[in-house]
Copies of this chain bind each other. A is one copy, B any other.
């Protein structure tokens, strides 16, 4: 098990002595002879002791530290960067990376962390995913030894915040048409000048380190650059926030405007070229989303079930007694159980080097689609009361719409799968 996560266990042990806000004990296995609605197909049976412990630790942190803050943060559209520091302190960032102060845990363990965070809020999970899978992942997979040494340790601690600039205003589903360009600095040798705009970039307004993908002007090939905000002259890098979002309001999202922003050549990732670079990172992030959204869905199930048991209508019957209500719960629990198993399977294959991008397309698409669909259906159980944000389900519904669209909108993943199944592309 990760030394980092263990190292902190004494601190957690104290917390364990305190009563949990909910009666749930996240990692305890259900007894053999009893159905456990929180883990209907007993996915925990597939996890290692270490993974169970990591999951438990992450769940406790999220329920105790994140949950109390999220409602106000979402209302105010405010993201507190301290959260990344806390996560760093817990060893939750870049958790699959070995070395550089990272935990070096399995792909599944890492995704159990994202699930714990997303059980609270998809926005918090997005911020963490960008830091871990996209920014740290890109540096780790493609950066030089110097870049890794320089940036990863501080990013692992949450002291440096990362962002990942791929999507452009005119090129969402089709990043290969990007317009951001890098040209050699006409005067200053050893430098590129980056010009272009990226949008819907999680963390960008507060990021210290921005991984930006751009086309080399002379070759037209896409390359990755590490843009260090401290090194950017005034006026060459702007990262305005996008406000008034309809979802993920507890995370911060913005644009990246680069105007002849000088970046030293050693900050260009040395080997990777074309879309392989960003797609490798997206692959890891998408994997985390696939298990992450199951956390949001499970929270919806938990809240809807509790509401249905407590809310009485018509002769004092709890809503939970009505067939139409029970079917909604059964459907949602089934999709949560299936999605969890599929994500664990692909995580295992990923660690064995056997997972293909299409597998990740499949689980990212299906799990986001089903999480969103079921969250909406469960919301119906609350009737008009769901309009109050304090019931906490409207926020999940709004967030999950976003997860369905980012890192490959659902229909785009259909076509990726369709191409893999038929051998024919249908994008155009």
Contact = CB atoms under 8 A, between A and B. Distances in A.
Contacts of A177: 314
Contacts of A427: 314
Contact of A35 (B33, B171, B358, B388): B358
Contacts of A386: 246, 401, 405
Interface in A372-419: 376, 379-380, 383-390, 394-395, 397-398, 401-402, 404-406, 409-411, 413-415, 417-419
Contact of A421 (B330, B380, B385): B330
B384 A40 contact: no
Interface string A332-375: 01100111011001101100111010110011011000000000
Interface in A305-338: 305, 308-309, 312-315, 317-318, 320-327, 329-331, 333-334, 337-338
B330 A246 contact: no
B388 A327 contact: no
A83 interface: no
Contact of A359 (B35, B305, B354): B35
Nearest to A406: B384
Contact of A330 (B43, B242, B334, B417): B417
Chain B CB count within 10 A is highest, among A173, A334, A386, A428, for A334
Interface of A: 32-35, 37, 40-43, 45-46, 75, 167, 170-174, 177, 200, 242, 244-248, 253, 305, 308-309, 312-315, 317-318, 320-327, 329-331, 333-334, 337-339, 341-342, 345-346, 348-349, 352-354, 356, 358-359, 362-363, 365-366, 376, 379-380, 383-390, 394-395, 397-398, 401-402, 404-406, 409-411, 413-415, 417-424, 426-428
